[in-house]
Structure 1
Amino acid sequence: MTELVAGPLPTPTSRAPRRRRRRGRTNPLIYVALVAASIFAVLPILWGLSTSFKSESATLSDQGWIPQNFTLENYRLVLFESKIPVYLGNTLLVAGLTVVATILIGIFGAYAAARFRFRGKTTSLFLILMTSMIPGIAILVPLYFLAVNLGLYDTYGVMIIIYTAWQIPTVIWMLKGFFESIPDSIEEAGRVDGASHFRVMLQLVFPLAVPGIAAAAVISFVYVWNDFLIASTMISTDDKRLVAVGLYNYLSQYGIVWGQLTAAVVVSIVPIVIVFVLMERRIVAGLSAGATKG
């Protein structure tokens, strides 16, 4: 018989790297789409930043993106001769208290939803989530009458209550997925050592949930910072307005003061950028926890 001579047969170990390399390849169109979306999102901000350094005459004459006569006059007027700093302080106060109230209520609700079993749990969670799907404009008139009848109209308290109630469903669902990603063995070890259920939550579970709590806090903070509907309806005193409503003062019947408006917008964006830069890692960890739990 004629002996057949053949090369070495491929082994499973030699095929595995090729499969991994094939699976690891990413379609270049994805990067192109991401770059295009990023440019589309950043261009308005860059235009506003460029306009904020132009004089009003240069803005109206349309000299292009790069300001020829660089000036800080718009920022001086916004920071020292307008109420934008007052509006920023009001917004920080309302947003900060809203975040504290939302997180304190949301973490206990999310922990109960993640760890306890009770009748109607799924239905209750679904109904909680449905409340966040109701358009704000649909319940604006009832909220207005309630605020007037309870004596809360034109106060910070009514905005904090509304914002907290509006954000609790989202926070509960976010933190529920994060608490479910924490192993039960950690809590069981604490109970074996004699710790109470409440102590286990405070000392063992909540410290591990800091990334998720931080992500939920940032989302609540940004929501309050950007809201216009509730802030413009529930507040009538100019000194109590939030920054989103205060920016509207630069839109008048005589025209738009583009230089000061864009400078005020840039100033109002700075706190949000600082929050995201400081909390970037915790935000990413918190938002990805629910998707990676197994």
Structure 2
Amino acid sequence: MAGSYATGKKKFSIYILLTYLVLILFILVTITPIIWGLITSLKGTGEINRFPPTIFPEKLDLSNFYKVIFLSNFTTYFKNSCLVTFLCILASTIIAGHAAYAISRFNIKFKEQMMFGILMTSMVPAVALLIPLYIMGVKAGIYNTGFMLVLVYTSWRTPMLTWILKGFFDSVPIAIEEAAMIDGCTRLRTFYTIVIPMSQPGIVSSALLTAVYVWNDFLVSFTFVTKEELRTVSVGLYSYITQYGVQWGELLSAVMITIIPIIILFVLLQRKFVDGMAAGAVKG
């Protein structure tokens, strides 16, 4: 009996050790390009182009960051991305939240077919929609505007957010809402004061996924905006790739600045995000 217990404990310890080794390896593979980019951004142009390359900078050089922030249009790109991302998160979350709650609580005919249709719309490849959206944008007079970006991003993210949020709203006990309505709350007030606070992990997870998608997207921004003053960071980064070569120092400095907002969001909201992902996994 004791031998069996010892054997089981040994297997469990080996399993934990292998798990940590895999996780450490995954972290190293993920973080190495970021560290290398940061180190390279702190080198001078001569040291960056040197072969063989140096691992650590011989002298810290912040000129690349200075050029990106003060001598280029990167700050304009950064502001545009922040504004478009914020508006898209706000619009898609509000629309998807109300739609998901209606589907979750009301007895709607063909509800399952409707949810399947909503899911299918999010699976359509973006490339297949670019030409029709381009024609519609030109005819509507909104091509080459920030409104066009917000509209396209919101319409693409709303179906998926609706599907995700419905699962969280389904987990909120109906009895709590019924008790609130007996006390005089309207359906809408019940939604705002009870359902939304209880579904915070799901809402935060959806918002973060939307933020990452919009912030990193290149295809939509490159297709529907050509004005320099309206470009986002994902498109603006390509301005450092010229016909004369790649400006590695400035490019990697801009990349380091670009990833800061997403890192800050995940650090500040990591608890809600993990809770939301865990709850979604359990529902699945």
Is the structural similarity TM-score above 0.5? yes
- Partner Cα separation in structure 2 for residue 24 and residue 184 of structure 1: 41
Deviation digits for residues 106-155 of structure 1 (CA, Å, limit 9, x no counterpart): 10111122222322111111111111111111111111111111000110
Of 202, 207, 221, the match for 1:217 = 207
| Residue of structure 1 in register with 2:106 after alignment | 116
| Residue of structure 1 in register with 2:34 after alignment | 45
Deviation digits for residues 175-229 of structure 1 (CA, Å, limit 9, x no counterpart): 1111122222211211221222112111111121222111111111111100100
Of 116, 127, 144, the match for 1:154 = 144
Of 230, 249, 272, the match for 1:259 = 249
When normalised by structure 2's length, the TM-score is 0.92
After TM superposition, the structure 1 = structure 2 runs for residues 201-216 of structure 1, keeping only pairs within 5 Å, are 201-216=191-206
Structure 1: 5+ residue runs without aligned partners? 1-9, 11-16
Cα distance, 1:191–1:93 mapped onto 2, change above 3 Å: same
After TM superposition, the structure 1 = structure 2 runs for residues 117-136 of structure 1, keeping only pairs within 5 Å, are 117-136=107-126
Amino acid in structure 2 at the alignment position of 1:233: T
1:144 partnered with 2:139: no
Amino acid in structure 2 at the alignment position of 1:45: I
| Residue of structure 2 in register with 1:67 after alignment | 57
Cα distance, 1:293–1:229 mapped onto 2, change above 3 Å: closer
Of 216, 220, 227, the match for 1:230 = 220
Amino acid in structure 1 at the alignment position of 2:41: S
8 Å contact kept, 1:53–1:72: yes
**Alignment partner of 2:172: what SS?**
coil
| Residue of structure 2 in register with 1:176 after alignment | 166
8 Å contact kept, 1:110–1:179: yes
Offset of 1:21 from its aligned partner? 6.8
Offset of 1:64 from its aligned partner? 2.3
1:247 partnered with 2:247: no
**Percentage identity across paired residues of the two chains:** 40
- Partner Cα separation in structure 2 for residue 156 and residue 146 of structure 1: 15
8 Å contact kept, 1:53–1:67: yes
When normalised by structure 1's length, the TM-score is 0.89
After TM superposition, the structure 1 = structure 2 runs for residues 15-30 of structure 1, keeping only pairs within 5 Å, are 26-30=15-19
Amino acid in structure 2 at the alignment position of 1:291: A
| Residue of structure 2 in register with 1:289 after alignment | 279
8 Å contact kept, 1:214–1:286: yes
1:81 partnered with 2:80: no
Offset of 1:30 from its aligned partner? 2.8
